[in-house]
Amino acid sequence: MKISRSTSLPLDKFIELALYDKNSGYYMKKNPFGEKGDFITAPNITRLFSEIIAIWVITFWKSIGSPKKFNLLELGAGNGEMMKVITHTLKNFPECFSTCNFMIHEKSDFLINQQKKNLKSEKISWIKNIEKINSDPTVYLANEFFDAIPIKQFFKKKEGWVERFVDLKNPKKVEFKEQKINIKILEKNLNFEISKNQNIIEYSPSAFKYLKIICDIIQKNNGGILIIDYGYLNSKMHETLQAVNNHKYSNVLENIGDSDITYNINFKLFQKFTNQFHNLSSLISNQKKFLTSMGILQRAEIVSKSIPFSKKTDLFYRIKRLIDEKQMGELFKVMLIKKTKNKFKTGFQID
């Protein structure tokens, strides 16, 4: 990436530039998903993942009263694979399918074109502004969406809090810098005490903006959001910023525009943010518990009866990647935000 900046940028503005610059941003010029890309997401590991999400959508739709019209809105649909399988699966449940308005929110025009190629036979609309949505209940799906939204980082020093910046004066030697900040002003804007018992703060202003819009819409029109992403549940935050290039970790300040920059979501922080909405509540599990309680192993057994042994072995290898605690099973968390009066718990049953 050619950097034509002579100043320092806050970390989130730097990540925005690296990932979403119109001409050379990472997500704006390439398809990073799959074996040929830089990483593989769950829908590309096995279609059973997306089938399970589709079944979950049906059960949640029933929990909000099986409305005659509802929106299913995927946030950041990657190459469109999950939405493709979901639409195909819901066709087997015509009562739900006929009432569903399928939508995708995608920032990258390049990825929108990829999704349209993959979903050419489906009735799906693409929206840039999620606030401009009809008044029907909406079910949001966010699989590895929030980890791709730029973050800020703050570090507690003896003299007070500092914010991380990126110095772009010398394109051949991009480096981190720090600037003092008044944490109280930040907390006043956030409306809660984010620095309490913390030495490091990592959060995304844009993610909170998305959550506020979505929570407001859920409160007003009913529905919910299912968030699936890698992250942790400790109330104590730690630094998780990382870059990935060609399936390997790389330096955040190198290969700018050619590497994915991401972080691990602090789900306790998400929960703390959503607690501001008094008639909403949240449930959190991990991917292993969620997928197994939704019956992914039983579904795999049924599918495997009609395929050769070699493909059966491959299928269960892929399922293992999704649910093994040493792989994605524990690393990935699943969070549902919904109206408190909706007692729905499918996929989140406590042991």
Name the band, by pLDDT with cuts 50, 70 and 90, for residue 340. very high
pLDDT, residue 264, reads 95
Q: Would residue 351 count as lying in a domain?
A: no
In this predicted structure, the answer to whether residue 269 has a pLDDT above a threshold of 90 is: yes
In 3D, which of 283, 265, 286 has the Cα closest to residue 274?
283
CA distance 50 to 85: 6
Coil, helix or strand for 136?
A: coil
**How large is the average pLDDT for residues 154-159?**
94
Over residues 294-319, the pLDDT tens digits come to 988 898 888 888 787 778 888 888 88
Name the band, by pLDDT with cuts 50, 70 and 90, for residue 182. very high
pLDDT, residue 90, reads 96
Coil, helix or strand for 305?
A: coil
pLDDT, residue 30, reads 66
CATH code, domain carrying 233: 3.40.50.12710
Q: Would residue 344 count as lying in a domain?
A: no
In this predicted structure, the answer to whether residue 144 has a pLDDT above a threshold of 90 is: yes
**How large is the average pLDDT for residues 131-157?**
95
pLDDT, residue 347, reads 94
CA distance 55 to 107: 27
Q: Are strands 70-75 and 100-105 parallel, antiparallel or unpaired?
A: parallel
Q: Would residue 3 count as lying in a domain?
A: no
**How large is the average pLDDT for residues 209-234?**
96
Q: Which residue has the tokens 């509540």?
A: 281
Higher-confidence residue of 32 and 133: namely: 133
CA distance 196 to 273: 14
Domain count, the chain: 1
Looking at the chain, the number of H-run helices and the number of E-run strands are 14, 16
Buried b (16+ CB within 10 A) or exposed e, 9-30: bbbbebbbbbbbbeeebbbbbb
Q: Would residue 123 count as lying in a domain?
A: yes
Domain of 293 in residue numbering reads as: 8-339
In this predicted structure, the answer to whether residue 6 has a pLDDT above a threshold of 80 is: no
Q: Would residue 1 count as lying in a domain?
A: no
- Per the structure block, which two tokens stand in for 282? 């949240």
In this predicted structure, the answer to whether residue 142 has a pLDDT above a threshold of 70 is: yes
pLDDT, residue 5, reads 57
**How large is the average pLDDT for residues 206-214?**
96
224 Cβ partners below 8 Å, 6+ apart?
Answer: 60, 64, 139, 140, 218, 336, 337, 338, 339, 342, 344
pLDDT, residue 35, reads 57
In this predicted structure, the answer to whether residue 323 has a pLDDT above a threshold of 70 is: yes
Q: Would residue 348 count as lying in a domain?
A: no
Ordered alpha helix ranges (H), the chain: 11-20, 26-29, 42-45, 47-63, 81-90, 94-97, 109-118, 183-190, 205-221, 267-274, 287-293, 296-304, 309-323, 328-331
Model-level pTM?
A: 0.92
Q: Would residue 214 count as lying in a domain?
A: yes
In this predicted structure, the answer to whether residue 33 has a pLDDT above a threshold of 80 is: no
pLDDT, residue 316, reads 81
- Per the structure block, which two tokens stand in for 97? 């399918």
**How large is the average pLDDT for residues 7-28?**
88
pLDDT, residue 45, reads 85
In this predicted structure, the answer to whether residue 34 has a pLDDT above a threshold of 70 is: no
**How large is the average pLDDT for residues 57-69?**
97
Q: Would residue 180 count as lying in a domain?
A: yes
Q: Which residue has the tokens 């010398």?
A: 170
Higher-confidence residue of 217 and 301: namely: 217
